[in-house]
Structure 1
Amino acid sequence: MEIADRRVATVHYTLTVDDGTLVHSSYAAEPLVYLHGAGKLMPGLEKALAGKKPGDRLKAVVPPEEGYGRRHEQLVQAVPLSAFEDVSMVKPGAKFLTETAQGPVLATMMRVEGDRITVDGNHELSGKTLHFDLRVVSVREATLGELTTGEVSND
């Protein structure tokens, strides 16, 4: 059976960026299990996996437009320290959820300079070309419940 819409695929992967930096590997943990065609994967990765079968190995290069998107410099802003209720969590690298006009965004504190904090609302992989090394483990038909919710059941 091949990966197609309305099917549940299980894949192992290693993700790196252009300079070879390892971002994540599922091999040390659990494989990725997803409902193909439900919009749960980035478009470039879903396209690369379409039509693949258990046992297939492939490499996929996903450009920013089909991954986490391009960086948007307007999402990098300086905010006052007073915007944070818990100042003990204010440090470079700290992540926090903030509300925007477009909905919630996970932002990262980049710099702390006195009472000004530079925050970045871009995803940490935005603007980067992603390199996947993939192995298809299994493919099965989705259940009615999975098709209804768009979520894979753990049963």
Structure 2
Amino acid sequence: MIAENNKVVSFHYTVTGEDGETVDSSRVRAEPLSILLGHGNIIPGLEKALQGKSAGDKFETEVACDEAYGPRNQEAQQRVPKKYFAGAQKLKVGDVTVLSLKQGGQRMVTVVKVGMTTIDVDLNHPLAGQNLKFDVEVVGVRDAEEVELQHRHAHGAGGHEHA
């Protein structure tokens, strides 16, 4: 079966940044990543690279920052009260942490400055502005189930329940 929109594609990957360091790898986990292709569940450049592939295909692809996490916005900094961070007392400059948003949800941020009651953060994704290199092995391609199409993402072997 060929990977195309509305198919569930399972794959292992290793991603390296511009410095050649491994950023993330599914190979350290037992299961490959499974996504519903064509629904924006992964960065656009990798989603495009998976199109047309089949189980057993292995390939490398470079994804430009515009097709990954976008360019860095030098003005994307914000001063945030410490109460919005878990473990705020332990944070230091350069740490990547999760910011709890007032309206619900979370966002990855990088600590720029730590004050007495506030923390200045860089709101850019830590990989923003970087071209990324992916080493990919497609493990499987299957038809999506109707519920996956409705939910716009792949479900695991045991299904998926929404709150």
TM-score (norm 1): 0.86
Query: C-alpha separation between the residues in 1 aligned to 2:74 and 2:100?
Result: 17
Q: Which residue of 2 aligns with 1:154?
A: 156
Q: How do 1:106-145 and structure 2 match up within 5 A?
A: 106-112=108-114, 117-145=119-147
Deviations 1:91-129 (A, max 9, x none): 33152325489x864322123366664311100000000
Superposition map of 1:1-155 within 5 A: 1-29=1-29, 30-77=31-78, 79=79, 83-85=81-83, 87-92=88-93, 93=95, 95-99=97-101, 105-112=107-114, 117-155=119-157
The separation in 2 between residues aligned to 1:129 and 1:100, in whole angstroms, is 32
Q: Which has the higher strand share?
A: 1
Instruction: Call closer, same or farther: CA 1:87–1:143 in 2, change over 3 Å.
Output: closer
- Per-residue deviation at 1:152? 1.4
How many residues end up aligned between the 2 structures? Answer: 151
Distance of 1:87 and 1:5 partners within structure 2: 42
Q: What amino acid does structure 2 have at the position aligned with 1:19?
A: D
- Structure 2 residues not aligned, in runs of 5+: 158-163
TM-score (norm 2): 0.82
8 Å CA contact retained: 1:16, 1:22: yes
Which stretches in structure 1 are left out of the alignment for 5+ residues?
Answer: none
Superposed CA RMSD in Å reads 2.3
Counterpart of 1:140, as a letter, is R
Q: Secondary structure at the match of 2:27?
A: coil
Deviations 1:58-91 (A, max 9, x none): 11100110001111011124x37xx223752443
Distance verdict in 2 for CA 1:14–1:96, change over 3 Å: closer
Alpha-carbon shift at residue 154 of structure 1 (Å): 1.5
Instruction: Evaluate the alpha carbon distance shift between residue 67 and residue 94 of structure 1 in structure 2; reply closer, same or farther with a 3 A threshold.
Output: closer
1:98/1:106 contact within 8 Å kept: no
Q: Is the 8 A contact 2:71 2:129 kept in 1?
A: yes
**SS of residue paired to 1:146:** helix
> What is the distance in 2 between the residues matched to 1:84 and 1:23?
27
* Displacement after TM superposition at 1:4 (Å): 0.3
Q: Distance in 1 between matches of 2:139 and 2:106?
A: 34
